[in-house]
Amino acid sequence: MANTPEASPPKLLDQVRDRIRVKHYSIRTETQYVQWTKRFILFHGKRHPRNMGQKEIEAFLTHLAVEGGVSASTQNQALSALLFLYREVLEMEVPWLDKVVRAKRPQRMPVVLTRQEVRAVLDRMSGVYGLMGALLYGTGMRLMECVRLRVKDIDFERGEILIRDGKGAKDRVTMLPAAVAEELKAHLKARRALFDEDRRAGMASVYLPDALARKYPNAPTEWGWQYVFPSGSYSVDPRSGEERRHHLDEKLLQRAMKKAVQAAGIAKPATPHTLRHSFATHLLQAGYDIRTVQELLGHKDVSTTMIYTHVLNKGGRGVVSPLDG
């Protein structure tokens, strides 16, 4: 009997993808880590990472900073990807990786809009983008938390929004602003009509995280699991290969916000995340406790929330200039 040929081991980048999926990391993290691994290997002439060490990693990170001109956060992201490669994929004992110095991230004050500026921006955002912008400011959600919002996580009766699997894989509850409740109901009515069309076409299935689709086989086609803000067309899931309707592309909201900021004549570099910063600052201005704001924002440490107290102070930490005195 002829011996059957042994299957060749998976390629390194495929091993990285497989390990990331076992760890339930997001598709964005998967894409970034695979790209950094590939760039690291190509930078060193396609040498295998097993044959490289601290010297090669530091040379790569230095190249990114000096010649690539990347930010500290980007450089640290590359280091995190290589840490994952060596520890999780190659399963190598690499104590020297702990000695690789991470780039120090500069301490920046967040961009915050005044209440009048927020109103001017939101007045210039119409339709679904106007609704999403109002939710970002009115709830303190992050951009992707809003984009990934599911129908079942909105509770009109309690006036709450449940944010599932936020940053750090944490769930939290925030308020549903009464000012957008009716508009959101009208949006969901139109969304339901689109869902019914998809169901008749056999295209109502939606992505579910962490193998929930296997545990609840009917859930992907249920109304409650649908994205509140869906894409205008179908797309192919890069992991499963299934064609279905995904959530709205966040870049569309970013562009709509940029246009609104420019139309309002605001010089600040405001983005959708600026609405979250403004939410926190305006709550503190209104006298709400910082621990309450921390909980609404989903910050792990109150020190992260404390940065908004610095925004509240006037120039020079609230000190009156002697020129004005």
**pLDDT tens sequence across 145-198:** 999 999 999 999 999 999 987 665 678 999 999 999 999 999 999 999 999 999
Q: How many domains does the chain have?
A: 2
The answer to whether 276 is a known catalytic residue is yes
The answer to whether 246 is a known catalytic residue is no
Do 93 and 150 belong to one domain? no
Q: Which entry of 152, 167, 187, 258 is annotated as an active-site residue?
A: 167
Query: From the CA atom positions of the chain, what is the Rg in Å?
Result: 24
Do 149 and 298 belong to one domain? yes
Distance CA 140, CA 177 (A): 11
The answer to whether 308 is a known catalytic residue is yes
User: What CATH code is carried by the domain that includes residue 37?
Assistant: 1.10.150.130
- Tell me if 221 is assigned to some domain: yes
Do 272 and 135 belong to one domain? yes
**pLDDT tens sequence across 220-277:** 999 999 999 999 999 998 877 889 999 999 999 999 999 999 999 999 999 999 999 9
The answer to whether 273 is a known catalytic residue is yes
Query: Lowest-pLDDT range, 90-104, 114-128, 236-250, 261-275?
Result: 90-104
Residue 1: what pLDDT?
47
- Tell me if 110 is assigned to some domain: no
The answer to whether 247 is a known catalytic residue is no
Do 191 and 74 belong to one domain? no
Could you write out the DSSP letters of every residue in 69-134? ---HHHHHHHHHHHHHIIIIIS----GGGGGSPPPPPP--PPP---HHHHHHHHTT--HHHHHHHH
Do 88 and 119 belong to one domain? no
Q: Which entry of 142, 244, 245, 246 is annotated as an active-site residue?
A: 142
Single pTM value for the model: 0.79
Q: What is the domain range of residue 79?
A: 12-99
The answer to whether 299 is a known catalytic residue is yes
Do 84 and 156 belong to one domain? no
Residue with tokens 């840490």: 83
- Tell me if 44 is assigned to some domain: yes
